[in-house]
Amino acid sequence: MHKFGGSSVADAARIEAAARLAAPAHDQCSVVVVSAMRGVTDALVELVEAARSGAPWHDGAQRLRTRHADAARASGAACRDKLLAALDAQAQALGADLEALAQARGAVATRLAERIWGHGELCSAWLMHAALGGEAGGWAWLDAREVLVVQAGEIGVHIDREASLQRLAAWRARHPQRNVVATGFIARTADGHATTLGRNGSDHSAALLADLFDASTVTIWTDVDGVLSADPRLVPDAVRLDALTYAEACELAYFGAKVLHPRTIAPLQVRGIPLMIRSSLDPAAPGTRIDSRGEPARSPVKGLSIVDDMAVLELVGSGMVGVPGVAEVLFAALHGAGVSVTMISQGSSEHSICCVVRGSEAARGRAAIETAFAGAIAAGQVEGVRMQTGLCVLAAVGDGMRGNRGVAARLFEGLAQARVNIRAIAQGASERNLSVAIAQDDAERALRAAHATFWLSPQTVSVGLIGPGNVGRALLAQLDDVMPGLRARAGVDLRLRAIAGSRRIHLAGTALAPASAATLLGDDADPCDLDAFAAHVRASDLPHAMIIDCSASDAVAARYADWLAAGIHIVTPNKHAGSGEWSRYARIAEARVTGHSRFLYEATVGAGLPVIATLRNLIDTGDTLHSIDGMLSGTLAWLFNSFDGSRPFSALVREARALGYTEPDPRDDLSGLDVARKLVILAREAGRTLSLADVEVENLVPEALRDLSLDAFLGSLEALDAPMQARLDAAHAQGRGLRHVARLDAAGRATVGVSALPSDHACMHTRLTDNLVQFTTARYADNPLVVQGPGAGPQVTAAGVFGDVLAIAHALGARAGWRHA
């Protein structure tokens, strides 16, 4: 059996293509069920409303007549004249029904409307019948109203199977053709009146006919490649599911998977008839198979769906505790008001019971519950009915959830990471569906976060970069190099969507190419507005947001607390936040907690070296820090590693500047302030309440040179030579050497400056721009723990920043070794 939806029979070309797909093999026979052409049923509904209200409807009816006739003329059908005659007869019948409807009232009007709504399927069936060769080609034409007998029940329309089988047998006796084209959507009541199976009910009618015809398999041809793991309009990385069980498909269909009608599965499941969902636009694609077996998935969750426009009704009151029958009264009231319940949740305290209903029915439901409990409310036993609108339901579905520990924890953690609050939770005993009610505004972000949480798609992070200087540009180059492989290898989708300099910003709706992003900050870019920058990075449709601050701006660091509180993760080599005023540091720490966000700054000390991580591990594992000392400046390390008396200190400073080791103004390095900031960061990481003013800093620039212009200072560098040579000679006289060292001792005293060290000191064995940090702790008392390596240069600093970026991505749920299907 083949069923073609409206998009698959939208015009003559699509009908011809569908006919080729439906042509049976030599040893098979086929039943083809068709929907109305796309848009036709909507047009018929409008015609019914127009006729009922006395508005003009003739032009609309003529447009439908012309559309079907044009499709017939454009087809290659051999029996075109017969086809046009059949379509003309249908159009005349439609006109007569509309004329009658304009005068009818009550039950007669309802029956006429039901008959009119099925006009589109009748015309599509004639067009498909002709495209397949008609009677001459061995095809019968079936108006499903001749066979399908249905009646309305408590839970929707259901088939009278025995009566339908009898009618089918009689119809087959009159129509011996091997193959059949049948109408979808329409049926007949037991008393002989035309009816429908509800909007989008053609899939359901195909399943009912499959049962009656004893089909071996059913293929629904649509405009997508199969059942996807989520709505691709909301989750672009949604993947096609190869196979589902009937139960999984039922859950996904109910919770909004548009490719499946909720009532399609049941008739097929009873008979064990497999269902294929395939694309008529890409018939070579394998599609999705739905049967009793399904297939194991790499994730316990196979698919996620969103049901929009929901509301919560909550009945609250201490008088409900231990009282039997409360739920019965509540649901009876909702049933009486015609309100359907999607979710139910009640705590073991029985103090409240809540249900999730459609937003359009919420007010009616609340009124019905208040009426049912009016006496209890008046007596103070029940507080009343609370209503919260503007919600949606997110459902996670998969047979693999059964008996699989931690599925709910993963879902809730993923939603928390995306800053999505859960209003209500429901899970059935089958464990194949876990549903949560959340704010409608969070729907897209929540769906993407949950999809990535279960490794159905990469973890998507909206990224904004501030400061495309040396380190920023090096990081952009590394991102450009690594990101494509990172997405496939580790399931991390870093989307650079914003870049900011000191004066300009560029905000992009789609991902920027990192290699060229810095070029977008020309004079035509927008003025720098960090509030707009952060708001853009914290996109409502992306689950996670991150700002990478590669500037050295204190003003940018002043924004960290607000960004972290808003749920934006921050990675930075900027030392101002970690070493600035203590009150700001405390606000940042608090914001990390309230915003459930992460703040990583490994590159603030030691560039790409794991200095902070090592210290944090020592403290977290219960070690006690005694002291820290080491060389924390790559520039000063190079200067003192090179200063052996053979060349003046001023010449080395000029060479370091030429090599790019110093800041543009070497006084920024020689002042020791940068090293002091790093020492403060380490001290605070160890739990000390140290501030920059508490550090004793030796400034290597003579006071007389500190306020000169840069050119004047560079011309006066020789003033450094004599004092520095004298210190070197004194050190050599004692068998020592000079190094620039930062120290934090056991008493909490912090110093930064030049020290004469013995030859066996670790700092005497560094090379070039090496940083070295030595931790003396209770565990490492006799033999201190040393972290050493290159500590200067934009490449290694950018690598340290990149490492923090990946640490956050993996903490958000990206999986090492992940492979995108």
pLDDT of residue 198: 81
Mean pLDDT for the stretch of residues 747-754: 95
The boundaries of every CATH 3.40.50.720 domain in the chain are 459-569+801-818
Start-end of H helices in 245-307? 246-254, 265-271
pLDDT of residue 257: 61
Q: Which CATH architecture has domain 303-453?
A: 2-Layer Sandwich (3.30)
The boundaries of every CATH 3.30.360.10 domain in the chain are 611-792
The pLDDT-based confidence of 818 (bands split at 50, 70, 90) is very low
The boundaries of every CATH 3.40.1160.10 domain in the chain are 2-223
Q: What is the pTM of this model?
A: 0.70
CA atoms within 13 A on the CB side of 27: 1
Q: Is the separation of the CB atoms in 766 and 774 below 8 Å?
A: no
Q: Is the separation of the CB atoms in 4 and 280 below 8 Å?
A: yes
- Give 123: exposed, middle or buried? Use CB within 10 Å, 0-12, 13-18, 19+: buried
What DSSP element (H or E) covers 511? none
Q: Which CATH architecture has domain 2-223?
A: 3-Layer(aba) Sandwich (3.40)
Q: Measure the CA–CA gap between 505 and 468, rounded to whole angstroms.
A: 11
pLDDT in tens, 392-445: 999 999 888 887 888 888 899 889 888 899 999 988 767 788 999 999 999 999
Q: How far is CA 402 from CA 301, 429, 598, in A?
A: 10, 9, 33
pLDDT in tens, 335-349: 999 999 988 987 766
For residue 230, pLDDT over 90 is answered with no
* Three-class DSSP labels, 388-418: EEEEEEEEEECHHHCCCCCHHHHHHHHHHHC
Q: Measure the CA–CA gap between 378 and 395, rounded to whole angstroms.
A: 37
Q: Is the separation of the CB atoms in 692 and 679 below 8 Å?
A: no
Q: Which of 227, 223, 222 is nearest to 245 (CA)?
A: 227
Beta strand pairing status for 750-758 and 695-697?
A: parallel
Backbone angles phi, psi at 102, to 5 degrees: -60, -25
Q: Measure the CA–CA gap between 69 and 91, rounded to whole angstroms.
A: 10
Q: Which CATH architecture has domain 611-792?
A: 2-Layer Sandwich (3.30)
The boundaries of every CATH 3.30.2130.10 domain in the chain are 303-453
Q: Which of 511, 484, 475 is nearest to 803 (CA)?
A: 475
Q: Which of 616, 575, 589 is nearest to 797 (CA)?
A: 575
SS3 384: strand
Q: Measure the CA–CA gap between 534 and 530, rounded to whole angstroms.
A: 6
Beta strand pairing status for 341-346 and 352-358?
A: antiparallel
The pLDDT-based confidence of 276 (bands split at 50, 70, 90) is very high
Start-end of H helices in 573-631? 576-579, 582-594, 611-620
pLDDT of residue 256: 58
DSSP 3-state percent helix, strand, coil across the chain (nearest 5)? 45, 20, 35
What percentage of the chain reaches a pLDDT higher than 70?
Answer: 97
Q: Structure tokens of 8?
A: 């698959």
SS3 137: helix
* Cα 749 versus chain centre, distance: 49
> 459-569+801-818: what fold?
Rossmann fold (3.40.50)
pLDDT in tens, 40-92: 999 999 999 999 999 999 999 999 999 999 999 998 777 888 999 999 999 99
Mean pLDDT for the stretch of residues 662-683: 94
> Looking at the DSSP assignment, which residues form a beta bridge with residue 126?
none
Identity of the residue numbered 453 = T
Q: Measure the CA–CA gap between 526 and 505, rounded to whole angstroms.
A: 5
Residues identified as active-site: 678
